[in-house]
Amino acid sequence: MPRKIGSLTLYSVDDLHELLGISKMTLRAYLREGRLKGRKLGVQWFVTEEAIREYFNHDNETSSPKKKERKLKYIVQGVNDLVSETEECVSIPETLECLHSQAIISLFQVEIIDTETDEVLEVVKARDFIERYS
């Protein structure tokens, strides 16, 4: 049962499990990852109604067809000391061309980076990148 503290309603993982039908393990993972905002008091997680609304509103925004596309860049780089080459590409075709020009593809990987945040989204072996996008 949710706990009331003044005008604040706090939901435990058990409460959310019963209300939403989501497993407790999944809820705890969402809390640890920050997908669902909550606070840990002692050994128990608590979530506010506002945090639940925010979670569901965020899901609606990201699944909407108006979703803003990420601008990506692709960094082709050697995976060991034998190959020190690094080349920045701005499109998949350009990256594929760069990879095909390499003598030994297995010595390379591709970092996929969000240009707005400079966050590395994924690191893919060159062969896997070629298979995925050819």
Residues 59 and 76 in one domain: no
End residue of a domain, out of 63, 86, 114: 63
Q: Which structural domain, as residue segments, surrounds residue 30?
A: 3-63
CB 45, CB 13: distance < 8 Å:
yes
Rounded alpha-carbon distances, angstroms, from residue 42 to 4, 21, 46, 126, 134 = 18, 24, 10, 46, 52
- For 50-107, write each residue's pLDDT tens digit: 998 888 887 555 554 554 577 999 999 988 877 778 899 999 999 999 999 988 888 9
123 and 76 assigned to the same domain:
yes
Cα–Cα distance for residue pair 107/127, rounded to 1 Å: 10
78: amino acid identity, one letter: G
Backbone angles phi, psi at 67, to 5 degrees: -55, 130
pTM of the model: 0.49
Count: domains in the chain? 2
82 and 115 assigned to the same domain: yes
pLDDT at 47: 93
State whether 12 and 35 are in the same domain.
Answer: yes
Residue 46's CATH number = 1.10.10
